[in-house]
Amino acid sequence: MPAPDGRKPVVVVDNVHVEYRVHAAGRRAAGTGRTLLSRARGLRTVHALKGVSFTAYENESIGVIGSNGSGKSTLMRTLVGLTPPSQGAVYASSRPNLLGVGAALIPDLSGEKNIMLGGLALGFEKSETDGLRDEIVGCAELEEFIDLPMRTYSSGMQARLKFAIAAAKQHEILIVDEALAVGDQRFRQRSEARIREIRENAGTVFLVSHSMKSILDTCSRVIWINRGELEMDGDPREVVDAYKESRK
Ligand SMILES: Nc1ncnc2c1ncn2[C@@H]1O[C@H](COP(=O)(O)OP(=O)(O)O)[C@@H](O)[C@H]1O
Ligand SMILES: [Mg+2]
């Protein structure tokens, strides 16, 4: 169903619950001095999302905030289909991409070769990746290092390379989970600009970040997840202020 102003919905999250079943560590049995597995208490359920619902529209850039362990990453993994809901459902007009080509990259290969691999992993033709090479290297600021094996890069350099490869593509629905936390300020500004560009080209972006500045500079709407529930959803300034207030 379109919004009252005619915008097209691209993702509908309908009453999503996620429960993780985890094996708790063995407990020391009292008095015996030996470590025994307490089988009765072995399996624990973590209710990470408790009935989250919202609709995302095209051209929105949605900030996702909340304290550690509140369920942000779980929600993002549910959107891309990596974590199935135990109840409820996610409907999307096209498959959302979780920013990251990390799995496709090989540390022993050069940055240059990894751009090719990452491009192929994103579904580019070889010629398309060739055409994007300079833009990716520039965005990652790795001009002098692009011939060196990726394992020689600092974690910040590796993260910049991964962001630059993934962001070279125009995504319809792009999810960025904490990827901006690693770079320096200049890189952060450039990646924020790229996120705005993707959004302007009719994409929808979800940005999970602990930087309220990134969220306010980039997002048109903010969702606050608190202990697995949608605490607030709306104007960035209002939601960020309420979140900050709750942490005082
Ligand atoms: N793979 C998993 N197995 C078990 N529990 C998990 C798993 N992933 C996350 N959790 C738990 O789910 C809750 C939400 O985690 P997460 O979605 O990572 O929160 P956030 O991204 O907001 O920090 C936490 O209690 C966390 O410990
Ligand atoms: Mg997380």
Ligand minimally distant from the alpha carbon of residue 66: 1
Total Cβ atoms within 10 A of residue 7: 14
Secondary structure of residue 51 in the 3-state scheme: strand
Domain count of the fold of the chain: 2
* Helix, strand and coil percent figures for the chain, each rounded to 5: 40, 30, 35
Q: What is the pLDDT of residue 87?
A: 98
Helix axes 155-167, 185-200, angle to 10 degrees: 10
pLDDT tens track for 202-213:
689 999 988 898
Ligand 1: which residues within 6 Å by Cβ?
20, 22, 46, 48, 66, 68-74
Same-domain pairing of 53 and 106: no
Q: Which of 136, 155, 171 is the last residue of a domain?
A: 171
Counts for the chain of helices (H) and strands (E), in that order? 7, 11
Asked if the model's pLDDT at residue 225 lies above 50, the reply is: yes
* Distance (Å) of CA 207 to CA 56, 148, 242: 13, 31, 18
Total Cβ atoms within 10 A of residue 91: 11
Same-domain pairing of 64 and 120: no
- Let me know how long the chain is: 248
CATH of the domain at 159: 1.10.8
Ligand 1 centroid vs 18 CA: distance in angstroms? Answer: 10
38 pLDDT band, cuts 50/70/90, is: very low
Closest-CA residue to 187 (of 208, 224, 158, 219): 158
User: Across residues 15-21, what is the average pLDDT?
Assistant: 96
Ligand 2 centroid vs 63 CA: distance in angstroms? Answer: 13
Same-domain pairing of 120 and 190: no
Please report the atom of ligand 1 found closest to the CA of residue 22. Answer: 4
Q: Which of 171, 190, 223 is the last residue of a domain?
A: 171
Same-domain pairing of 201 and 235: yes
Same-domain pairing of 85 and 143: no
Same-domain pairing of 227 and 187: yes
Pocket probe mutation, ligand 1, options 67, 73, 206, max atoms within 8 Å of Cβ: 73
Asked if the model's pLDDT at residue 10 lies above 70, the reply is: yes
Range of the domain at 133: 100-171
**Residue 169 and residue 131 in contact, taking contact as beta carbons nearer than 8 Å:** no
Please report the atom of ligand 1 found closest to the CA of residue 70. Answer: 22
Give phi and psi for 229, each to the nearest 5. Answer: -120, 155
* Distance (Å) of CA 204 to CA 55, 120, 167: 12, 23, 13
CA distance 26 to 81: 32
Same-domain pairing of 147 and 193: no
Asked if the model's pLDDT at residue 173 lies above 80, the reply is: yes
The helix or strand, by DSSP H or E, that contains position 157, with its residue range, turns out to be helix 155-167
**What residue owns the CA closest to ligand 1's atom 27?**
69
Q: Which of 171, 190, 215 is the last residue of a domain?
A: 171
Ligand 1 centroid vs 128 CA: distance in angstroms? Answer: 37
Same-domain pairing of 61 and 180: yes
Same-domain pairing of 113 and 69: no
Q: b/e per residue, 59-75, with b = 16+ CB within 10 A?
A: bbbbbbbbeeebbbbbb
Q: What is the pLDDT of residue 64?
A: 97
CATH of the domain at 226: 3.40.50.300
Q: Tell me what percent of the residues of the chain surpass a pLDDT of 70.
A: 88
**Residue 79 and residue 175 in contact, taking contact as beta carbons nearer than 8 Å:** yes
Q: What is the pLDDT of residue 162?
A: 85
98 pLDDT band, cuts 50/70/90, is: confident
**Cβ-proximal residues to 158 (8 Å cutoff; 6+ apart), any chain:** 150
Secondary structure of residue 225 in the 3-state scheme: strand
